[in-house]
Structure 1
Amino acid sequence: MDVAFKKLRPEAAAPTRAHAGDAGYDLCSVEEIPLKPGGRSLVKTGISVAIPTGYAGLVLPRSGLSVRHGITLINAPGLIDSGYRGELMVPLVNHDRSETFTVEVGMRVAQLVLVRAGDATFTEVASLDEGPDGRDSGGFGSSGR
C-alpha cells in the first residue's frame, strides 16, 4: 500500500519501520520538549499523511520509552481517520515520579500502525444472541486469571 505523506518542516522524518516486517512505523519529534515528572505535552512530528479510505492509523507508544523512562501516550491508542490531513501530533506523558525526560529533535516518540476500518450499519434490536464463546455479558475479568 502506498501512503502519501508531506513534510511540514525540513527536519521532519518519514515514518519508517526499524525492521522489515514490523507492524509499526516510527514517528519522530521535530521539537525539543522537557517533560517534567507527571507532565504532558503534544509533540509535533512535522508530517501529515493521507491514510487511504478504508484504513485508519493507530498511534501507539514505544515500549522502550515506556519501560526505560515511563514515557507513554495519554490516549493510547490515538486514532487517525483517513480523512484527516493535519499534522500528526503525539500526546506524551511522563509517568516517572522523579526524572524529567527531554524529547529531542529526531527522537522516535511513537509508532503508527495502519489497520483496516470497516463500514457498518448499526441496527437496534430487542435482544442479542449470546455470542460465539457463550460469554454473554461477562466483561472485565470474566475469563479468570
Structure 2
Amino acid sequence: MTLKIQRLTPTAVLPERATGQSAGLDLRADIGQAVTLPPGGASVFPTGLAIALPEGTVGLVFGRSGLGIKHGIAPSNAVGVIDADYRGEVRVGLTNHSDKPYTIEPGERIAQLVVTPVLLPEIAEVSSLDETARGAGGFGSTGRG
C-alpha cells in the first residue's frame, strides 16, 4: 500500500514513523513562528500536507502521548477523521487542557496519523434488534468503572 502525500508549502515535513513498528506517522506543525496556547486555549495548526488515502481506508489523527501526558495538549476533537476522498490540507486542532501555557514550535510533532481499513456498511432500518446477554446495559453495566 502506498500513501500519496503532496507538500503544499516548501516548509512542510513529510510524516514519518519514529520507529519501524510505530503505527502512527508523526505530523508536524507547518507554522512560520511559535504559537502559544494559553491554559484552556485552542488553535488549528496546518501541516502543509495533503494526502490521498487508499480507497477503503481512513486516516485517524491521534494526539501524541508525550504532549498529552506531560503538557495537557490534545486534539480538540479527540480523534480527527480524514476520509479517503478528502484532498485538502491536513490540519490539526489542539487544545491546552493544562493550567500552564504551552508553545508549539515550527516543525514540532503535534499529532500522529494512523491509516486503517474502514468498513462502509449499507444502512437498513429494522423494527427490532437481535437480543444479546448484555441487552441495553450501558455505562458501567458490566461492573465497576
- Shift, 1:10, TM fit: 1.2
Residue 111 of structure 2 corresponds to residue 110 of structure 1: yes
Residue 23 of structure 2 corresponds to residue 7 of structure 1: no
Q: Percent of pairs identical after alignment?
A: 46
What is the root-mean-square deviation of aligned Cα atoms in Å? 1.0
Residue 140 of structure 2 corresponds to residue 138 of structure 1: no
2:17 maps to amino acid:
R
TM-score for both structures, normalised by structure 1: 0.94
Q: Which residue of 2 aligns with 1:82?
A: 84
Structure 2: gaps (5+ residues): none
Give runs of aligned pairs for residues 89-128 of structure 1, distance below 5 A. 89-97=91-99, 99-128=100-129
- Shift, 1:106, TM fit: 1.0
2:79 maps to amino acid:
P
1:28 maps to amino acid:
R
- Shift, 1:141, TM fit: 1.5
Count of residues in correspondence between the two structures = 142
The 2-side partners of 1:107 and 1:130 are apart by 49
2:129 maps to amino acid:
L
Q: Which residue of 2 aligns with 1:39?
A: 41
- Shift, 1:123, TM fit: 1.0
The 2-side partners of 1:123 and 1:3 are apart by 33
Deviation >6 Å, runs of 4+: none
